[in-house]
Amino acid sequence: MTEAGPLQAWIAGTLSAALAPTHLDVIDESHLHAGHAGWRESGETHFRLDVVSPAFEGKSRVERHRLVNGLLDDAFKRGLHALAVRARTPSEAA
């Protein structure tokens, strides 16, 4: 496993602090998008998230994605181009 880059670490820290997840994977998939829009050779442009948090209880899928995207607004300003989100409650992840 490779060491997390600065943006990947920031994303993980931001989501951990705000959502207190019971599970969090922040996967840099930038290498899969080489040559596509938004891709940079330095990476950290395309991420996949799998986050399980009680903070998602009672929220629709759209509300969960809006919450995550809002928390990561600065990441988009720092070069994040694409984000795939899987946001579940603990009961959904069981």
Residues 6+ apart with CB under 8 A from 67: 19, 55, 56, 59, 87
Residue 1 has pLDDT above 50, yes or no: no
8 with 47: CB under 8 angstroms? Answer: yes
pLDDT tens-digit readout, 36-83: 655 456 567 889 999 999 999 999 999 999 999 999 999 988 888 889
- Domain spans of the chain? 22-93
Query: CA 94, CA 84: separation in Å to the nearest integer?
Result: 21
- Of 39, 31, 89, nearest to 60 by C-alpha is 89
pTM confidence score: 0.85
The pLDDT, as a whole number, for residue 40 is: 56
The class level of CATH for 22-93 reads alpha beta
